[in-house]
Structure 1
Amino acid sequence: MAKPVEIELVALTKRYGGVTAVDGIGLRIPAGTYCCLLGPSGCGKTSTLRMIAGHETATEGDILLGAENITDLPPARRGTAMMFQSYALFPHLNCLDNVAFSLKMRGVGKTERRARAAEMLARVEMTAFADRLPAQLSGGQQQRVALARALITDPAVLLLDEPLSALDPFLRIRMREELKTLQQRLGISFIHVTHSQDEAMALADLVVVMNQGRIEQAASAREVFNHPATTFIARFIGGHNVIALAAGGGALGNGVAMPALPGSARHVAVRADRMMLARPGATLPLRGTVRSVEYLGATVAVGLAVAGLDPLSAVLPEATYFADPVQPGDGVALGWQAEDMHGIA
Structure 2
Amino acid sequence: MTKAAEIELASVTKAYGNTVAVHAISLKIPAGTYCCLLGPSGCGKTSTLRMIAGHESITSGDILLGNANVTDLPPAKRGTAMMFQSYALFPHLDLVDNVAFSLKMKGVDKDTRRAKALDMLKLMQLEPYANRHPAQLSGGQQQRVALARALITDPEALLLDEPLSALDPFLKIRMRAELKKLQTSLGISFVHVTHSQEEAMALADLIVVMNDGRIEQAAHPRTVFERPATAFVARFMGDHNVISGRVSQTENGSVTLSVPAGADFRAEGSAAETGEPIDIAIRTDHIRIGETAIEGFGFTGTVSNIEYRGSSVKLTATGAGIEEFTAILGDKVFFSNPVKVGEAIQLSWAPEDVIVLGRAGN
- Report what 2:280 is aligned to: 268
The two structures, once aligned, show a CA RMSD in angstroms of 1.2
Deviation of the 1:251 alpha carbon: 3.7
Runs of 4+ in 1 over 2 A off after TM superposition: 245-249, 254-257
Deviation of the 1:198 alpha carbon: 0.6
User: For structure 1, which runs of at least 5 residues remain unmatched after alignment?
Assistant: none
Paired residues for 1:135-146 under 5 Å: 135-146=135-146
- Report what 1:43 is aligned to: 43
Deviation of the 1:259 alpha carbon: 4.4
State the distance in 2 between where 1:255 and 1:197 align: 31
- Report what 1:184 is aligned to: 184
Q: Is the 8 A contact 1:36 1:193 kept in 2?
A: yes
Query: Helix, strand or coil for the counterpart of 2:322?
Result: coil
Match of 1:306 among 298, 319, 341: 319
State the distance in 2 between where 1:73 and 1:244 align: 46
Q: Is the 8 A contact 2:299 2:320 kept in 1?
A: no
- Report what 2:334 is aligned to: 321
State the distance in 2 between where 1:130 and 1:322 align: 55
- Report what 1:283 is aligned to: 292
Match of 2:349 among 324, 336, 340: 336
Query: Helix, strand or coil for the counterpart of 1:185?
Result: helix
Deviation of the 1:107 alpha carbon: 0.9
Change (3 A) 1:83 1:259: closer
State the distance in 2 between where 1:283 and 1:263 align: 28
Q: Is the 8 A contact 1:256 1:286 kept in 2?
A: no
For residues 252-294 of structure 1, the C-alpha deviation after alignment (integer angstroms, 9 at most, x for no partner) is: 423334243412381110111111112xxx3124111110011
Aligned residues: 342
Q: Is the 8 A contact 2:318 2:325 kept in 1?
A: yes
Q: Given the two structures, how large is their TM-score scaled by the length of structure 1?
A: 0.97
Q: Is the 8 A contact 2:292 2:348 kept in 1?
A: no
Q: Is the 8 A contact 1:44 1:212 kept in 2?
A: yes
Deviation of the 1:297 alpha carbon: 1.7
Q: Is the 8 A contact 2:263 2:320 kept in 1?
A: no
Q: Is the 8 A contact 2:288 2:348 kept in 1?
A: yes
Q: Is the 8 A contact 2:83 2:161 kept in 1?
A: yes
- Report what 2:78 is aligned to: 78
Q: Identity over aligned residues, as a percent?
A: 60
Q: Which amino acid in the other structure matches residue 350 of structure 2?
A: Q
- State whether structure 2 residue 11 is matched by structure 1 residue 5: no
- Report what 1:94 is aligned to: 94
Deviation of the 1:15 alpha carbon: 0.6
- State whether structure 2 residue 256 is matched by structure 1 residue 250: yes
State the distance in 2 between where 1:28 and 1:316 align: 38
Q: Is the 8 A contact 2:239 2:283 kept in 1?
A: yes
User: For structure 2, which runs of at least 5 residues remain unmatched after alignment?
Assistant: 249-254
State the distance in 1 between where 2:80 and 2:234 align: 32
- Report what 1:229 is aligned to: 229
Q: Is the 8 A contact 2:83 2:150 kept in 1?
A: yes
Query: Helix, strand or coil for the counterpart of 2:268?
Result: coil
- Report what 1:115 is aligned to: 115
Q: Is the 8 A contact 2:37 2:194 kept in 1?
A: yes
